């Protein structure tokens, strides 16, 4: 039995009210969306806020809209299973719909939200444990301790970003909107992250209100691949989001590959667009370029022993999942997962 | 402590609980509804699954204070709801789990049956793959899932007046066909 530490609840109806509550209470307050990350973390005493501010009653955070220019505006409180089924998301952002469809299990997708998944805490096998377990070990660098159990002598936390939505949104060039005491601001998702496992975001004290995904071109292809032990429930051992933009005659005009669950932030593999650009996806040159991209991904991704699962196996799966996910995107298929 | 106004299995209740209590704790330790199981208590196993507004969610991660104004159904509410709707006996899902022996220890069963009930309410004729997908958030450490999926298939077959598929371990005799009851006892 895991009891929650004591806290008080606030259930504001408006965003302004929620922002001012969080500003007033500072580090002693935390927002709760679906609760599927925060509640177990509070049970493990990783977070012990005095005030929990529910975002559930704030109407403007809910729902999916398509703007006149074709861009998708996704409310931060949109449940993941709604995101996975929505026709507009399936059509305009298939990698995101697929990523959302593979988060955890059905109950958790129904409860968990897009905003909660983007703002997910980083994970590590030495951190996501009960207080008793962590205390027995002398705690760790991320919480209450000074020693990193992943990198001997390490002074920097290497807990992994494990949010499936994050690489998908990065591959789609999403912009995030936050509201804080100083008003609203927009942050390109690439600028959200920093390589710090303790807190891997550059934004704090503000509420993520929605994500905007620019309108895809007519030749947009995207897919998501997820490696995990079971076909349900588990966090990713590796997540791969890909995008291919095709021009006339299925020639690649742009491409992207973003990988998650390896280190503290989602990682974009470099030189992918240059390698694919100008190649027709059915041609032999594309297959050769895909081999090259798999090698690039393997070289640029270095999994650590930060989450459960053998890190050498996870590294070996980087080119495998890169290849399968790009091929799925070519065929407008996916998601890619082995169980 | 605050007074929560909950609707559980059709009953409107006032229950006092601290704000940091989960729905599962309120159901089990305030209302005595111990059918919802406390398994991992951190969102992995699905044993605490209840229906909120007809959809399966995890009561161990749901704050009770945020459940006000929602229709909560626990395993205790399945049979009364079935009878209120004019049915006899237990809910067909419960009957099918019983007939198929879809349990050993029984700990995962309340959550399994609620996930199955919600699936059948949404989609009365799911495929085996859809059944497995809908139950994938409910872990069972005993049965290997075979009889659980077969129990839901039996439910589907009976609700559509089709003959249920005979399990591989009973060739020639369909132990679940009501028209052709299995000869001899099945322990």
Q: Domain extents for chain A?
A: 1-53, 62-119+160-213, 220-330
Q: Which residue of A has its CA nearest to B53?
A: A110
Percent of chain A at pLDDT > 90 equals 96
Q: Which residue of A has its CA nearest to B37?
A: A1
From chain B, the residues in CB contact with A231 under 8 A are: 136
The CATH classification number of A62-119+160-213 equals 3.30.465.10
- Per-residue pLDDT reduced to its tens digit, B9-64: 999 999 999 999 999 999 999 999 999 999 999 999 999 999 999 999 999 999 99
Lookup result for tokens 């399994």:
B112
End-to-end CA distance of chain B: give it in Å, rounded: 49
Q: Which residue of A has its CA nearest to B65?
A: A9
| Inter-chain touch B139–A233, beta carbons under 8 Å | yes
Distances (CA, A) of A245 to A226, A334, A337, B80: 21, 16, 23, 55
- Per-residue pLDDT reduced to its tens digit, B125-180: 999 999 999 999 999 999 889 999 999 999 999 999 888 877 877 777 777 776 54
CA dist., res. A247 & res. A31, Å (int): 43
Mean of the pLDDT values across residues B68-96?
96
Dihedral of CA A89/A92/A98/A100: which sign? Answer: negative
Q: Which of residues 100-139 of B touch A (CB under 8 A)?
A: 115, 133-134, 136-139
* A107 within 8 A of A35, measured Cβ to Cβ: no
Mean of the pLDDT values across residues A231-248?
94
| Inter-chain touch A106–B133, beta carbons under 8 Å | yes
What per-residue confidence (pLDDT) applies to A206? 97
Residue B38 at interface with chain A, using a CB cutoff of 8 Å: yes
What is the band of B187 on the pLDDT scale with cuts at 50, 70, 90?
A: very low
Token pair listed for B60: 């161990």
Q: Which residue of A has its CA nearest to B115?
A: A107
DSSP label at B45? S
| Inter-chain touch B43–A44, beta carbons under 8 Å | no
Q: Which residue has the higher pLDDT, A141 or B170?
A: A141
From chain B, the residues in CB contact with A233 under 8 A are: 44, 136-137, 139
**Substitution target from A106, A110, A233 for chain B, most B beta carbons within 10 A:** A106
- Per-residue pLDDT reduced to its tens digit, A155-194: 999 999 999 999 999 999 999 999 999 999 999 999 999 9
Residue B54 at interface with chain A, using a CB cutoff of 8 Å: no
**Substitution target from B118, B137, B145 for chain A, most A beta carbons within 10 A:** B137
- Per-residue pLDDT reduced to its tens digit, A101-111: 999 999 999 99
| Inter-chain touch A111–B63, beta carbons under 8 Å | no
The CATH classification number of A220-330 equals 3.30.390.50
What per-residue confidence (pLDDT) applies to B185? 44
From chain A, the residues in CB contact with B21 under 8 A are: 4
Domains, chain B: 2-78 (3.10.20.30), 81-159 (1.10.150.120)
Q: Which residue of B has its CA nearest to A109?
A: B57
Token pair listed for A145: 């301790």
CB-nearest to B137 from A9, A54, A108 is: A108
Which pairs count as long-range contacts for B153-162, CB under 8 Å and 24+ apart, including other chains? B153/B128, B154/B96, B154/B99, B154/B100, B155/B92, B155/B93, B155/B96, B155/B116, B155/B120, B156/B120, B156/B124, B156/B125, B156/B126, B158/B92, B158/B96, B159/B92, B159/B120, B159/B124, B160/B124, B160/B125
DSSP label at A117? H
**Substitution target from B41, B43, B70 for chain A, most A beta carbons within 10 A:** B43
Instruction: Name the CATH topology of A1-53.
Output: 3.30.43
Token pair listed for B128: 């085996």
From chain B, the residues in CB contact with A11 under 8 A are: 65-66
Average pLDDT score over chain A: 96
CA proximity to A86, closest of A109, A69, A119, A61: A109
Mean of the pLDDT values across residues A121-126?
97
Lookup result for tokens 């280190």:
A263
Distances (CA, A) of A53 to A18, A23, B63, B168: 7, 11, 12, 53
What per-residue confidence (pLDDT) applies to B179? 55
Backbone angles phi, psi at B71, to 5 degrees: -85, 115
CA dist., res. B107 & res. B104, Å (int): 8
Backbone angles phi, psi at B174, to 5 degrees: -100, 105
Counted across chains A and B, CB pairs separated by less than 8 A come out at 82
What per-residue confidence (pLDDT) applies to B181? 46
What per-residue confidence (pLDDT) applies to B176? 77
Residue B72 has pLDDT above 50, yes or no: yes
Specify the length of chain B in residues: 187
Residue B61 at interface with chain A, using a CB cutoff of 8 Å: yes
CA dist., res. A316 & res. A323, Å (int): 12
* B116 within 8 A of B123, measured Cβ to Cβ: no
B/e letters for B15-35, b = 16+ CB within 10 Å, e = fewer, are: bebbbbbbbbbbbbebbebeb
Q: How far is the alpha carbon of B45 from chain A, nearest alpha carbon, in Å?
A: 8
CB-nearest to A2 from B19, B41, B115 is: B41
CB-nearest to A106 from B43, B56, B62 is: B56
CB-nearest to A35 from B62, B115, B133 is: B62
Mean of the pLDDT values across residues A278-306?
96
What is the band of A79 on the pLDDT scale with cuts at 50, 70, 90?
A: very high
DSSP label at B112? H
């Amino acid at each position: 039995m895991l009891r929650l530490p004591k806290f008080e609840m606030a259930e504001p109806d408006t965003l302004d009210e929620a922002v001012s509550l969080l500003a007033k209470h500072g580090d002693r307050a935390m927002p709760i969306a679906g609760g599927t990350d925060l509640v177990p973390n509070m049970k493990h005493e990783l977070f012990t806020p005095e005030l929990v501010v529910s975002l559930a009653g704030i109407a403007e955070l809910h729902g999916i809209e398509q703007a006149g220019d074709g861009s998708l505006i996704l409310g931060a409180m949109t449940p993941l299973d709604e995101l996975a089924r929505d026709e507009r998301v399936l059509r305009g952002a298939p990698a995101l719909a697929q990523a959302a469809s593979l988060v955890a299990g059905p109950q958790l997708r129904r409860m968990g939200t897009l905003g909660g998944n983007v703002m997910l805490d980083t994970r590590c096998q030495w951190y996501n444990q009960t207080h008793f377990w962590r205390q027995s070990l002398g705690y760790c660098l991320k919480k209450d301790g000074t020693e990193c159990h992943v990198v001997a002598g390490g002074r920097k936390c290497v807990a992994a970003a494990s949010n499936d939505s994050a690489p998908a949104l990065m591959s789609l060039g999403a912009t995030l909107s936050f509201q804080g005491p100083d008003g609203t601001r927009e942050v390109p998702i690439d600028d959200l992250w920093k390589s710090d496992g303790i807190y891997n975001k550059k934004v704090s004290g503000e509420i993520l209100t929605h994500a905007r995904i620019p309108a895809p071109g007519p030749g947009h292809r995207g897919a998501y691949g997820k490696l995990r032990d079971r076909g349900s429930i588990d966090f990713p051992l590796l997540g791969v989001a890909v995008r291919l933009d095709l021009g006339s005659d299925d020639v690649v005009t742009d491409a992207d590959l973003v990988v998650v669950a390896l280190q503290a932030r989602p990682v974009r593999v470099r030189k992918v667009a240059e390698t694919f650009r100008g190649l027709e996806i059915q041609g032999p040159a594309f297959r050769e370029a895909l081999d090259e991209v798999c090698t690039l991904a393997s070289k640029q991704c270095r999994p650590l022993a930060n989450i459960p699962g053998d890190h050498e196996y996870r590294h070996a799966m980087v080119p495998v999942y890169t290849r399968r996910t790009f091929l799925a995107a070519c065929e407008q298929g996916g998601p890619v997962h082995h169980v | 402590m605050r007074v929560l106004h909950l609707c559980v299995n059709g009953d409107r209740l006032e229950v006092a609980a601290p704000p940091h209590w989960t729905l599962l704790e309120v159901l089990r330790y305030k209302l005595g509804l111990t059918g919802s199981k406390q398994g991992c208590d951190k969102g992995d196993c699905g044993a605490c699954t209840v229906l909120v507004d007809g959809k399966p969610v995890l009561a161990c991660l749901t704050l009770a204070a945020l459940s006000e104004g929602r229709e909560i159904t626990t395993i205790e509410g399945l049979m009364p709801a079935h009878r209120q709707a004019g049915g006899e006996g237990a809910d067909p899902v419960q009957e099918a789990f019983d007939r198929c022996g879809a349990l050993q220890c029984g700990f995962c069963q309340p959550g399994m049956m609620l996930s199955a009930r919600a699936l059948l309410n949404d989609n009365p004729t799911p495929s085996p793959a859809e059944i497995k997908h809908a139950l994938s958030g409910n872990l069972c450490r005993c049965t290997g899932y075979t009889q659980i999926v077969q129990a839901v298939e039996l439910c589907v077959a009976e609700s559509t007046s089709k003959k249920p598929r005979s399990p591989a371990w009973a060739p020639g005799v369909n132990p679940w066909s009501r028209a052709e009851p299995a000869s001899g006892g099945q322990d």
